[in-house]
Each structure stands twice: as structure tokens, then as C-alpha cells.
Amino acid sequence: MKPAPFEYHAPGTRADALGLLAEHGDEAKALAGGQSLVPILAMRLTRFAHLVDLNRVDDLRGVTRENGTLVVGAMTRQRAMERADDVPLLVRATPLIGHFQIRNRGTVGGSLAHADPASEYPAVALALDAEFDLASAHTTRRVAAADFFLGTWTTAAEPDELLVAARFPVWGAESGFAVVEVARRHGDFAIAGAVCAVAPDRAALSLFGVASTPLRCTDAEGALLAGAPPADVAAEAVRDLAPADDIHASSATRIRLAHTVVARAVTKAREDARA
């Protein structure tokens, strides 16, 4: 299994990377950690004439705090998020991604831009109302997570645009957080997963692995904030779910598992808030 031939570019600056993407358009693909892209290339599910490797672009890496926001550079390794204490949902989601060897290479921006419907970070971003900075050679814009994920492996980013940073709101004290998922084996993609955050004055809930994008459970958030029992919040969250049958689980199984992970996440997040 080898990727089809491609031309390899290793820009040293963000400007050079964006210039290459502008020059080659949809014939080019940005290479971040490569933990999803390289298998896809190796299995010949896709091919690109040009790969733009971002691993030598230092100004895409690193984590900074801007007032109430944690700004995570796109090329920050997932492993570093295990210590992102300002955003506990990132700390809790990260160990669920693959295995530690994968997280040593995998990046935050790569996972978000890849937009696998069963991956954790997109659901965390959606629950927290995170925003993404997209840049091209000539433009920059800020897109809300709610407007970014359009479908399986499909986002609002144009071929010449790069997700350069993700901006995660920092919640205050007295908050509680949980990420719960069910997978066949540890490290596999989730069959169903839930992200939950609770605070005295707000609540957030999202699901992943149950549709072509992560889903925000707005109605269930009302019940969550009102203090409804976990099973009631879960019932509200899965009310309109209609996942397709696939090789991993039937639609009915997925709905049942979604109910289970929401109830567990609500319980854990409330315990976390009290702790």
C-alpha cells in the first residue's frame, strides 16, 4: 500500500504554505500530522498532485491564552492537549483519540479540518461555540464551529484556505465537563459519543458518531440547565436522531448507545462540577 506519486513541499513559513495552496488549489492538500491523511492516501481512497507539509511551519504551533479564549495553533500536537487545563473538555477528549503514538503526531487543526463525524475535537468545538481562523494567501476569516462542519470529511474551508488556529472559550470555576464514548476497542472511532459541559448559568451538549457531522443538542441543553435527570436529558438529545445503519451498528443500536453516552456524560459532568 503506497500513496500515488505526489510532489512534496515543505514550506518554512505560514505565508509560503498559503502561497503553495493558492498556487495549486484543489490539486494540493495540506499535510498536518498525517494520521488520517496518510492511510487514506496509502489505500488510494484519494490522491493529490501536491502535498504541502506543515510540520516545519513553526508559527502554526503553540497555545496562547487571550482573555477568555484558549487559542490553539493548528499544528499543535494532540499530545499537548492532555495538559490544556484551561479547557478541560480538550483534556478529557484527547486520551480517546487513537493511541499515544498517534497523538504524538496528530494535530488539533488536522483533526478539526479532517472533520471525521466520529472524532472528538469537532464535537468539543461545537459544544463550546469555538471559532476557527481560516487563512488563504489573500484573506482571513473567522468561522463558528456551527458553520464549519458540513458533512463527512467536508468543511466550509475552501481548497486554498488553511485552518490556522482554533479558539476555544474558557469556562469559569464551578463548571463541570465530560466526554463519554462507546467504541468496539479502545482507540477506535466511536460508535457514539457525547460531550457535556455544565455551569451554574449555562450548559452545552453535543453528540458525535451518530450523523455526518457532530450535532449540537440545543433542546436537551435546556433540560440539562434546568437540572433534569440524566435519562430525561438523554431522551431529549436522541429524540430526532436518525443515524443510518452501517457495518459498525444498526440505527437502533446507535440511538440506544447515544442515549447511554449522553446520560453518562451528564452524570459525570455534574459530578465534575461538584468536585
Partner 1 sequence: MHDIEVVVNGDRTKRRVDARKTLADFVREDCALTGTHLGCEHGVCGACTVLVDGEAVRACLMFAVQVDGAEVTTVEGLGGPDGALSPVQDAFRAEHGLQCGFCTPGFVVTVTAFLRDTPNPSETEIREALSGNICRCTGYQGIVKAVQRAAGEAS
- Between 40 and 199, name the residue whose CB sits nearer to partner 1: 40
**Contact flags string 181-220 toward partner 1, x per CB under 8 A:** ----xxx---------------------------------
Q: Is 35 in the site for partner 1 (CB under 8 A)?
A: yes
In DSSP terms, 69 is beta-bridged to 66, 169
HSE-up of residue 172 (Cα within 13 Å, Cβ side)? 5
In the bound complex, what is the minimum distance in angstroms from residue 149's beta carbon to partner 1? 23
In DSSP terms, 73 is beta-bridged to 165
CA distance 167 to 141: 13
**Contact flags string 36-65 toward partner 1, x per CB under 8 A:** --xx--xx-------x-x-x----------
Contact pick of 15, 25, 58, 100 for partner 1 (by CB under 8 A): 100
Instruction: Name the phi and psi angles at 273, rounded to 5.
Output: -70, -35
CA distance 2 to 192: 31
CA distance 202 to 225: 6
Contact pick of 16, 19, 86, 105 for partner 1 (by CB under 8 A): 105
In DSSP terms, 132 is beta-bridged to 143, 166
Chain residues binding partner 1 by CB under 8 A are: 1-8, 10, 34-35, 38-39, 42-43, 51, 53, 55, 95, 98-102, 104-105, 185-187
